[in-house]
Structure 1
Amino acid sequence: MKKPVIQFSDFGFKYRSQTAPTLQNINLAIYEGEKVLIAGPSGSGKSTLAHCINGLVPFSYKGEVTGSIKIMDRETKDENIFALSKFVGTVLQDPDGQFIGLTVGEDIAFALENDCVQQDRMRERVTEVAEMVDVDSYLASSIHHLSGGQKQKVALAGVMVDDVKILLFDEPLANLDPATGTQAISLIDRIHKETGTTVVIIEHRLEDVLHCDVDRIIIVNEGRIVCDMPPDELLASNMLEAANIREPLYIRALKYAGCKVTSDIYPNHIDKLKIGQCRDKLLAWYSTADEPEPAPKSTPALELNGISFSYQAGKSTLDHISFTINKGEMVSIVGKNGAGKSTLSRLICGFERPDSGRIIVHGRDITADTIKERSLSIGLVMQNPNQMISKHMIYDEVALGLAVGGVPEKEMKERVERTLKICGLYPFRNWPVSALSFGQKKRVTIASILVLEPAVIILDEPTAGQDFRHYTEMMEFLAELNKRGVTILLITHDMHLMLEYTPRAIVIADGKKVADDTSVNVLSDPAVVEQANLKQTSLFDLALRSGISSPREFVRRFIAFDKGAGRAWQ
């Protein structure tokens, strides 16, 4: 019988700065060689639970501890964080935060250097681990020249080199494009199978993690464990919806079709799913679901004609990019990490100058405009609202752009109050920004751009790091703005967001535009999906397995039905 390597007994924890405990009544055992997913909404306590496993709680994050935690049969309160690091290796959400060495080899070797391992043995072990995670050809390379996925592999090697018994992954998919995220989950699965290491994954993207099998899923909500069961049983229950965690899309489609989802049909992965009796119900639902209405025609709001740009001479970052965004559209720009999406937004906003080509807004060429002039017609909302906010009070933050532009006081007050009402922030207008949640701060930054009445608003990863409920709130808010005629351009890795909210997607790969089509068509084109590191939707796979004649049409009808049912998925 396998023994527990992580054991929580009547455990609770309260941070010094808080009045209520973040974790309470935690009883949990994770066994040797298990692969476990811990999920939960923002603020549920799942990250604190992870910090308890690796020793950051209570040794770095101080507070009041009740009950007991044992790691490898040792009471953590009797150990120290260094001793625990010999058992638990943590791969952070942002791997840049844990690099030490200048090169890949130096970074992987760091733990061995601290252990005074002989150089010959050190080289041997570093090479061995690097080969295991497929970075052996980069040992002499600078870490900062690697892609996001490669950096994550190096971070994994850096903790595996010490032969830890437990691997802890903190939101490993957060900063990766869809295909790289799938590769990361496959790598974790391979390492787990080859080494027998106990693996704990903290992640709210359930469907993406279930690309490979896990033994159990533990749901944390409001500081308590509300669910601990195998994936098939969890997906057959209503626990995900109750905990504000998005169900896999194919599960939602089965439920819409009236299929009974039970553990007997193996719902944890689309490839294992027993379609059986569901096939007839899916076909019947598909035949009765309404076709989506075509989008109305409109006039151009933003045009890019032959835009090319290079950071270094002779090395093209963007190559002859051309597209038109019509007034009132909401469009996704997608592609793999480093494809040029962020550079494209910087060019549109004027932070960079194109080597060639023209940028036109409402028929006027703005290519030569200054950043200040460009800001009157183009607004950019950054991924992290804290990087944009510069005023203490909400009203002052939203009014800042108008004040700098010399707008008269009376007009400024009217525009700010009108915008605050549109954004649902009017009741908080006299609040300090620091009192708001992350999602509310995001609304403040959107309001500060919206008040300037730009022709186009660009949002960089608008839902990054947000759970199902906050994701839904943000996207429904943007959808309402879009209905008011605001033209919105979204830079995103989230394929579900792209499908649900943006009828059209522009795909960038290796500096070139490789597709400009409906989101459904993009995600059902294998060539585009592969070239741009995207991920085919499981709805398309479900339609294929059900024998539906037009899988693309099935996806379109699902989206239209989902909106009509008042549902939104992350």
Structure 2
Amino acid sequence: MKKPIIEFSHFGFKYRSQEEPTLSGIDLTIYEGEKILIVGPSGSGKSTLGHCLNGLIPFSYKGEVTGSLKIAEKDTKKQGIFELSKKVGTVLQDPDRQFIGLTVGEDIAFSLENDMVPQQDMKERVKAVAKMVEMEDHLHSSLHQLSGGQKQRVALGGVMIDDVDILLFDEPLANLDPATGKYAIELIDRIHREMNKTIVIIEHRLEDVLYRHVDRIIVVYDGKIVADLPPSDLLATNILEECDIREPLYIRALKYAGCHITPQSHPENFSSLPMKEWESQLRDWFEASREKKDPIFDEPVLQLENVNFKYPSSPTIIHDISFTVYKGEMVSIAGNNGAGKSTLTKLICHFEQPNSGTIRINEVDAIRDSIKERSDKVGLVMQNPNHMISKHMIYDEVALGLVLRGVAEAEIRERVEKVLKICGLLPFRNWPISALSFGQKKRVTIASILALNPDILILDEPTAGQDYRHYTEIMEFLTELNQQGVTIIIITHDMHLMLEYTQRVIVISSGEKIADGSTVSALRDEFVIKEANLKETSLFELAERAGIEDVEGFTKRFIHQEKAVGRVWQ
């Protein structure tokens, strides 16, 4: 019988600055060698649960602890954060925050240097761990030159060098493209199987994690555990929907079609679904749909013509890119990590100047704009909220752009409170930003740009780290803004976001445009998927397995149903 390695007993925690506890009545046992997935909406307490495991609570984040937490049969309150770090290795959603060394090898070796391990032993162990995370060919590479997926592997190597018993992954997929995320899940699964580590994954992207087996899914809601079930049992219930967590898309489509999902149908394993039982129901549901024509856009608002760019003493990053975005469009830009999407954004926002080519805004040459002039036309919400935030308090951060533009105080308050409400932050308007989760910080930065009412709004991964409820609130607000005439460009790895909210996608790979057209067409093109590290959505495969040839129509039917049943939150 396996031994317990993590034991929460009547556990609770209240941050020093809060009146109510973030966690209460937590009873949870995790056994040696298990792989556990923890899910829950933003603010539910799941990240706090992770902080308790790695010792950040109570040693860094102060507050009141009730009950007990034992790791490897020892009470965590009687251990220091250093001692816990030798048992629990944490890989953060933003690997840059945990790097110490300048190169891959230096960073992986950091813990061994602190322990004064002899240099020859250190080199051998670093090489062994680097090989395990498939970074052995990059030991001398600068960390800043790595892709998002490579950075994550280095971070994993840095915690595995200590041979910890427990690996904690805090939203490992948040900043990764679909194919790299799929690889990350494969790597975690391989380490779990080959080394028998205890794995705890905290993640919003449930369907992507279920690409490989997990033993149990823990659902956290309002600071409590509301479910602790094997995936097959959980997916046969409505618990995820009731807790504002996105179910796998194929599960939701099956439920819309009236298919009866049971644990015996193994809904967590797409390939083993009993499709013959459900084919007729899926077809009937699809055929009941009504075609809706896409709107036509014909007024150019952003035009790039033969744009090229390279940094000094580096290869060309953007190769002869041309495209037009029309007023009122909502367009996705997709591509693998390192494809050039962020550089393209810098060119559009005038943070960088093209080496050649033309950029027009509202059919006027904008190459000679100042950054201030361009910022009045184009608003950018960056992927990492910490790169944008400059104030301590939420209200002050969202109001900053308006204050700098000399807007009257009464109007500032009205506009700030409006966007804070839409972004789900109004109750926290007087909070310090330091008290927020990564996802909540992201909403603050979106609100700060939305308050400025730009003509073109660019959002770099706007839903990364967001639960389903806040994802939907933000996207529905952006849709409303779009319908009022604001042109929106979304840089995203989320395939369903592209399908649900944008009829058109521009796909970038190695600095070149490889596709520009219907989102469904791009996501069914094998060449585009391979070159840009994308993947087909499970809706496509579900339609094909049900014998439905019109996959695009099936996808639109699903999206229509999503909106019809009320993905609008009160």
Q: Residue type of the partner of 1:300?
A: P
1:176 aligns with 2:179: no
In the alignment, the residues of structure 2 paired with residue 201 and residue 64 of structure 1 have an alpha-carbon distance, to the nearest angstrom, of: 25
- The answer on whether the counterparts of 2:12 and 2:66 sit within 8 Å (CA) in structure 1 is yes
Give the match's secondary structure for 1:563: helix
In the alignment, the residues of structure 2 paired with residue 99 and residue 424 of structure 1 have an alpha-carbon distance, to the nearest angstrom, of: 36
Of stretches 463-472 and 121-130 in structure 1, the one that deviates more from structure 2 is: 121-130
1:538 aligns with 2:538: yes
Please list, as runs of the form range in 1=range in 2, the aligned pairs for 1:499-514 lying within 5 A after superposition.
Answer: 499-514=499-514
In the alignment, the residues of structure 2 paired with residue 69 and residue 509 of structure 1 have an alpha-carbon distance, to the nearest angstrom, of: 47
Counterpart in the other structure of 2:37: 37
Q: Residue type of the partner of 1:61?
A: Y
Report deviation, 1:333.
0.8
In the alignment, the residues of structure 1 paired with residue 314 and residue 122 of structure 2 have an alpha-carbon distance, to the nearest angstrom, of: 40
Q: Residue type of the partner of 1:297?
A: F
- The answer on whether the counterparts of 1:232 and 1:268 sit within 8 Å (CA) in structure 2 is yes
- What's the CA shift string for 1:65-112, capped at 9, x where partnerless? 221111111122222222222211111221122222222222222222
- Distance verdict in 2 for CA 1:283–1:131, change over 3 Å: same
Give the match's secondary structure for 1:285: helix
Report deviation, 1:465.
1.9
Report deviation, 1:341.
1.0
Give the match's secondary structure for 1:217: strand
Counterpart in the other structure of 2:167: 167
Q: Residue type of the partner of 2:451?
A: S
- What's the CA shift string for 1:415-473, capped at 9, x where partnerless? 995797688679979x76859964763453233320xxx43222222222221111111
In the alignment, the residues of structure 2 paired with residue 63 and residue 472 of structure 1 have an alpha-carbon distance, to the nearest angstrom, of: 32
1:150 aligns with 2:150: yes
In the alignment, the residues of structure 1 paired with residue 380 and residue 123 of structure 2 have an alpha-carbon distance, to the nearest angstrom, of: 47
Please list, as runs of the form range in 1=range in 2, the aligned pairs for 1:178-217 lying within 5 A after superposition.
Answer: 178-217=178-217
Report deviation, 1:173.
0.8
Report deviation, 1:327.
1.1
Counterpart in the other structure of 1:83: 83
In the alignment, the residues of structure 2 paired with residue 117 and residue 441 of structure 1 have an alpha-carbon distance, to the nearest angstrom, of: 44
- Distance verdict in 2 for CA 1:236–1:48, change over 3 Å: same
Unaligned runs of 5+ in 2: none
Of stretches 391-400 and 285-294 in structure 1, the one that deviates more from structure 2 is: 391-400
- Distance verdict in 2 for CA 1:39–1:298, change over 3 Å: same
In the alignment, the residues of structure 1 paired with residue 492 and residue 568 of structure 2 have an alpha-carbon distance, to the nearest angstrom, of: 17
Counterpart in the other structure of 1:447: 450
- What's the CA shift string for 1:133-167, capped at 9, x where partnerless? 11111122222221111111111111112111111
In the alignment, the residues of structure 1 paired with residue 123 and residue 326 of structure 2 have an alpha-carbon distance, to the nearest angstrom, of: 57
Counterpart in the other structure of 1:496: 496
- What's the CA shift string for 1:106-143, capped at 9, x where partnerless? 22222223333333332222222211111111122222
- Distance verdict in 2 for CA 1:62–1:348, change over 3 Å: same
Counterpart in the other structure of 2:52: 52
Give the match's secondary structure for 1:558: helix
Give the match's secondary structure for 1:475: helix
Q: Residue type of the partner of 2:153?
A: K
In the alignment, the residues of structure 2 paired with residue 547 and residue 185 of structure 1 have an alpha-carbon distance, to the nearest angstrom, of: 30
Unaligned runs of 5+ in 1: none
Give the match's secondary structure for 1:49: helix
- The answer on whether the counterparts of 2:217 and 2:230 sit within 8 Å (CA) in structure 1 is yes
Number of aligned residue pairs: give it: 560
Report deviation, 1:566.
3.1
Counterpart in the other structure of 1:135: 135
- The answer on whether the counterparts of 2:419 and 2:451 sit within 8 Å (CA) in structure 1 is no
Please list, as runs of the form range in 1=range in 2, the aligned pairs for 1:119-518 lying within 5 A after superposition.
Answer: 119-313=119-313, 315-383=315-383, 387=388, 393=396, 397=400, 399-400=402-403, 402-403=405-406, 438=441, 441-442=444-445, 444-450=447-453, 454-518=454-518
Of stretches 270-279 and 26-35 in structure 1, the one that deviates more from structure 2 is: 270-279
- The answer on whether the counterparts of 1:292 and 1:557 sit within 8 Å (CA) in structure 2 is no
Q: How many percent identity over aligned positions?
A: 58
- The answer on whether the counterparts of 1:333 and 1:507 sit within 8 Å (CA) in structure 2 is yes
- Distance verdict in 2 for CA 1:121–1:443, change over 3 Å: closer
Q: What RMSD, in angstroms, separates the aligned Cα atoms of the two structures?
A: 2.7
Give the match's secondary structure for 2:64: strand
Q: Residue type of the partner of 1:97?
A: R
Report deviation, 1:335.
0.9
- The answer on whether the counterparts of 2:336 and 2:534 sit within 8 Å (CA) in structure 1 is yes
In the alignment, the residues of structure 2 paired with residue 475 and residue 66 of structure 1 have an alpha-carbon distance, to the nearest angstrom, of: 38
Of stretches 119-128 and 478-487 in structure 1, the one that deviates more from structure 2 is: 119-128
Report deviation, 1:414.
7.1
In the alignment, the residues of structure 2 paired with residue 13 and residue 424 of structure 1 have an alpha-carbon distance, to the nearest angstrom, of: 28
Report deviation, 1:275.
1.4
- Distance verdict in 2 for CA 1:181–1:420, change over 3 Å: same
Report deviation, 1:396.
5.1
- Distance verdict in 2 for CA 1:37–1:520, change over 3 Å: same
In the alignment, the residues of structure 1 paired with residue 87 and residue 296 of structure 2 have an alpha-carbon distance, to the nearest angstrom, of: 59
- Distance verdict in 2 for CA 1:529–1:385, change over 3 Å: same
Report deviation, 1:278.
0.8
- What's the CA shift string for 1:200-236, capped at 9, x where partnerless? 1011110111111100000111111110000011111
Of stretches 310-319 and 381-390 in structure 1, the one that deviates more from structure 2 is: 381-390
Counterpart in the other structure of 1:25: 25
Q: Residue type of the partner of 2:82?
A: F
In the alignment, the residues of structure 1 paired with residue 426 and residue 277 of structure 2 have an alpha-carbon distance, to the nearest angstrom, of: 52
In the alignment, the residues of structure 2 paired with residue 420 and residue 27 of structure 1 have an alpha-carbon distance, to the nearest angstrom, of: 39
In the alignment, the residues of structure 1 paired with residue 411 and residue 51 of structure 2 have an alpha-carbon distance, to the nearest angstrom, of: 47
Which stretches of structure 1, 4 residues or more, deviate above 6 A after TM superposition? 412-416, 425-429
Give the match's secondary structure for 1:271: helix
- What's the CA shift string for 1:268-295, capped at 9, x where partnerless? 1322322131111112222222223222
In the alignment, the residues of structure 2 paired with residue 382 and residue 56 of structure 1 have an alpha-carbon distance, to the nearest angstrom, of: 27
In the alignment, the residues of structure 2 paired with residue 277 and residue 139 of structure 1 have an alpha-carbon distance, to the nearest angstrom, of: 52
Report deviation, 1:389.
6.1
In the alignment, the residues of structure 1 paired with residue 412 and residue 3 of structure 2 have an alpha-carbon distance, to the nearest angstrom, of: 64
Q: Residue type of the partner of 2:270?
A: I
Of stretches 306-315 and 257-266 in structure 1, the one that deviates more from structure 2 is: 306-315
- The answer on whether the counterparts of 1:433 and 1:441 sit within 8 Å (CA) in structure 2 is no
- The answer on whether the counterparts of 2:89 and 2:168 sit within 8 Å (CA) in structure 1 is yes
Of stretches 161-170 and 380-389 in structure 1, the one that deviates more from structure 2 is: 380-389
TM-score, normalised on structure 1? Answer: 0.92
Q: Residue type of the partner of 1:105?
A: G
TM-score, normalised on structure 2? Answer: 0.92
Q: Residue type of the partner of 1:346?
A: K
In the alignment, the residues of structure 2 paired with residue 419 and residue 103 of structure 1 have an alpha-carbon distance, to the nearest angstrom, of: 43
Give the match's secondary structure for 1:25: strand
- The answer on whether the counterparts of 1:331 and 1:503 sit within 8 Å (CA) in structure 2 is yes
- Distance verdict in 2 for CA 1:173–1:3, change over 3 Å: same
- Distance verdict in 2 for CA 1:377–1:141, change over 3 Å: closer
Of stretches 303-312 and 364-373 in structure 1, the one that deviates more from structure 2 is: 364-373
Of stretches 114-123 and 76-85 in structure 1, the one that deviates more from structure 2 is: 114-123
In the alignment, the residues of structure 2 paired with residue 94 and residue 420 of structure 1 have an alpha-carbon distance, to the nearest angstrom, of: 29
Q: Residue type of the partner of 2:113?
A: E
- Distance verdict in 2 for CA 1:494–1:395, change over 3 Å: closer
- The answer on whether the counterparts of 2:111 and 2:158 sit within 8 Å (CA) in structure 1 is yes
- What's the CA shift string for 1:234-268, capped at 9, x where partnerless? 11101101111101110111011111111111111
- Distance verdict in 2 for CA 1:443–1:81, change over 3 Å: closer
Q: Residue type of the partner of 1:444?
A: A
